[in-house]
Amino acid sequence: MPQFTRRVFKVWLLPTSLASYSPVMEPAISFRFSDLPLEIALLILKYAARPTFSQREKYADKNPYATALSLCLVSRLVRRTILPEFLHTISLHRCDSMRMFATTLLIQEVYAIEKSDLFFDYTSAVQRMWISHNDLVEQRCRDSESKLYLNLLVPVLLAAPALAIDWYNLKLVVQIVEDVRTSCADLDADRRHALFPGKTQSLTIMGHCINWDIFKHVRKGSVFLASIPHLTYLANIGTEGDIFRDFSMGLVSPEHPLRAWMRDIPWACMKSLETFSVVYPHLDAPYDILTYIDDTVGLDLHVERLTVSASLFRQDPASFPWVTPPFPVTRPGEKSTPSNGVSFEVTQDRANFWQFFYMWDKVWACGLAD
């Protein structure tokens, strides 16, 4: 096994009596990392390779995948061991990161053809994928480039159980999948299933506003949307923060905004939809508004998830049992079900929020939006 580091780990033997304690006691045993049994060393490296999505650190300052990328250079064994941890959650929050990941997939195709030991099946490893861009104006100008990258990403994307995507890239993905399905209409059922595995269990759309019609370009019978059971909107807290503050404080019923959002859902396409959720910061206590809008500080807040049973709503939308006064206030770490088909849940952990132009990627990557 290669020499990973020259650092010496020291094991200290504790005295049997406090009376014999000596502050100048020397270590009894010392060993290098390379002296560890292989199984233990690989477990440590797997743990070290897990990307950290710190709420405080900016990605421009620290790449969450930096440690894993460095460890991949140690040896082929280490690379193959840590890749599942490395690839579990993929965050593509810039056009450049989408391009680099697409290039990596092309390289894997070459490795597969050459039967190289460096080949690794990304499709089976990626469990969660985030795709968004901060600058949608720039993204529209590079539409053809984005479609090229997404064409390469679609096989991995369709196999990931959890997908978070902005509305613009969602439109492109739906279009790409439909085009591929049309071109493969003559394939047998098994080969079509291989192309469209339908493994996406959770579709999350970020930055949604009540007056957006994000599904207006979706054709009826979308094969991508047909098998998704859970749909979530990550609310645009910059434009609609007051609405969610009132939800957290139990001042208003969520019926009006939720009805507006649910009218936008393509029910004819999403035949398997079981739940619809909206996620937003939990603002039930007094807070410093100046800190909340300060992008250099922000506030550490719990995350609230409001979930509606889509299957119950579909049965009779006109008489669905919405929440009535007194409206519930759910506390951190708790879940409440004030009416049949509607529930509130607040995380025990917190995330750092600031009101304007907030990106949800770290909150989602940490699982706080699930």
Give the tens place of pLDDT for each residue, 331-362: 999 999 998 899 999 999 988 887 776 678 88
Q: How far apart are CA 149 and CA 93, in angstroms?
A: 13
| Higher pLDDT among residues 223 and 315, named by residue | 315
Determine which of 119-128, 176-185, 255-264 has the lowest per-residue pLDDT on average. 176-185
Our count of domains for the chain comes to 2
One-letter amino acid identity for 221?
A: G
Determine which of 75-79, 140-144, 242-246 has the lowest per-residue pLDDT on average. 140-144
Q: Are residues 263 and 159 in the same domain?
A: yes
- The predicted structure's pLDDT at residue 13: 39
- The predicted structure's pLDDT at residue 103: 92
Residue 45, in any domain of the structure:
yes
- The predicted structure's pLDDT at residue 194: 59
Q: Are residues 80 and 93 in the same domain?
A: no
Determine which of 146-150, 177-181, 193-197, 332-336 has the lowest per-residue pLDDT on average. 193-197
Pairing verdict, β 275-281 and 230-235: parallel
The neighbouring-strand residues paired with 302 are 350
Domain that holds residue 265: 89-365
Closest CA to 197 of 166, 171, 233, 161: 161
Q: Report residue 8's pLDDT band, with 50, 70 and 90 as the boundaries.
A: very low
Q: Residue 125 pLDDT > 50, yes or no?
A: yes
Residue 123, in any domain of the structure:
yes
Q: Are residues 146 and 285 in the same domain?
A: yes
Last residue of a domain, one of 87, 117, 133: 87
Q: Are residues 70 and 97 in the same domain?
A: no
Residue 370, in any domain of the structure:
no
Last residue of a domain, one of 87, 104, 129: 87
Q: Are residues 330 and 341 in the same domain?
A: yes
Residue 11, in any domain of the structure:
yes
Q: C-alpha angle 155/182/132, rounded to 5°?
A: 40
